[in-house]
Structure 1
Amino acid sequence: MRGWMEIGDLRLMAGKHLLIVESGDLIADAVRLALEQAGAVIVGPASSVEIGLALFDITRVDAAILDIRIEGETVFALAERLQDAGIPFVFAISHADTDIPAGYGGYRLSESPAALAQIAKALFAAHENGS
């Protein structure tokens, strides 16, 4: 039964515009494909914070998955813009020792469909329930 709930959670992404900001090696093609198969519209991926900010300014973004460090720069400026706009996001962190300042969430992304379902819940479940 648990598997069905996870698939249902992935459906929370259907039709959502998901901004991905990453250095190109954190979120594998298989993960992007799974997100698209769940119905997400991928915005990006942006390979720098500057490109991520530009995409945020010119296109619809319902949520974001952010690599915490790109080209030696952290994504906190973009995270603050998303937070100010009330847009949910998660950090895709690849190292356990990554420091995330208080006030931000975080998520260690894997290619597991169960992990993607957890991301879907983190990004969209509260909004689906009217929270």
Structure 2
Amino acid sequence: MKNANPTRLFFGKRILVVEDEYFHADETRRRLEDLGATVVGPAANIRSALGLIASEQVDAAILDVHLGDELVFAVADELERREINFVFATGYDPSFIPLKYEGFALCAKAAELEKIAVALFDPDDLKKLN
């Protein structure tokens, strides 16, 4: 792998975190900040996430799929439209994610920050982590 510690890829980046569970959002925020990233959000719902995308610089995003009774796909669509890389971070079965998003990385919440970093910033190396 080109980068011995893939989490270093977060350094200096502005990462949008979309997560409705406070403890997951806070843990992700703290871990990303420890790696030198600036966290945009966290946003707990689609409206807040879309507002942050419209008003803040975002280099990449980590999206929880289930936000209460909403699904995050409207946020994914806006990020894709703006050509901002993102990953889905969820503990749920990935089979419910529409085929449209088949090429996007799916990670088990923020526990896989190495895999998330590579998927967002060096996708050619993602296969080496699997």
TM-score (norm. length: structure 2): 0.82
Q: How does 1:112-123 map to 2 (within 5 A)?
A: 112=111, 115-123=112-120
Q: Is the Cα–Cα contact under 8 Å of residues 65 and 92 in structure 1 kept in the other structure?
A: yes
- TM-superposed CA distance for 1:125, in Å, is 1.1
Q: Is the Cα–Cα contact under 8 Å of residues 79 and 89 in structure 1 kept in the other structure?
A: yes
Q: Which amino acid aligns with 2:107?
A: R
The CA distance in 1 between the partners of 2:35 and 2:43, in whole Å, is 20
Give the 3 Å change call, closer, same or farther, for CA 85–47 of structure 1 in structure 2.
same
Give the 3 Å change call, closer, same or farther, for CA 46–12 of structure 1 in structure 2.
same
Q: Is the Cα–Cα contact under 8 Å of residues 19 and 65 in structure 1 kept in the other structure?
A: yes
- TM-superposed CA distance for 1:61, in Å, is 0.5
Kindly indicate whether residue 69 of structure 2 is the aligned counterpart of residue 68 of structure 1: no
For the residue of structure 1 that corresponds to 2:48, the secondary structure is helix
- TM-superposed CA distance for 1:29, in Å, is 3.2
Q: Is the Cα–Cα contact under 8 Å of residues 93 and 107 in structure 1 kept in the other structure?
A: yes
- TM-superposed CA distance for 1:33, in Å, is 1.6
Q: Is the Cα–Cα contact under 8 Å of residues 100 and 106 in structure 1 kept in the other structure?
A: no
Q: Which amino acid aligns with 1:108?
A: C
Kindly indicate whether residue 53 of structure 2 is the aligned counterpart of residue 59 of structure 1: no
Kindly indicate whether residue 107 of structure 2 is the aligned counterpart of residue 108 of structure 1: yes
Structure 1's unaligned 5+ residue stretches are none
Kindly indicate whether residue 45 of structure 2 is the aligned counterpart of residue 48 of structure 1: yes
The CA distance in 2 between the partners of 1:63 and 1:120, in whole Å, is 10
For the residue of structure 1 that corresponds to 2:63, the secondary structure is strand
Q: Which amino acid aligns with 1:82?
A: L
Instruction: Report the counterpart of residue 31 of structure 1 in structure 2.
Output: 28
Aligned residues: 121
TM-score (norm. length: structure 1): 0.81
- TM-superposed CA distance for 1:102, in Å, is 1.3
Structure 2's unaligned 5+ residue stretches are 125-130
1 or 2 for the larger relative contact order (CA 8 Å, sep ≥6)?
Answer: 1
Identity of aligned residues (%): 39
Q: Is the Cα–Cα contact under 8 Å of residues 85 and 120 in structure 2 kept in the other structure?
A: yes
Kindly indicate whether residue 17 of structure 2 is the aligned counterpart of residue 20 of structure 1: yes
Please report the RMSD computed on the Cα atoms of aligned residues, expressed in angstroms. 2.3
Q: How does 1:63-102 map to 2 (within 5 A)?
A: 63-96=60-93, 99-102=96-99
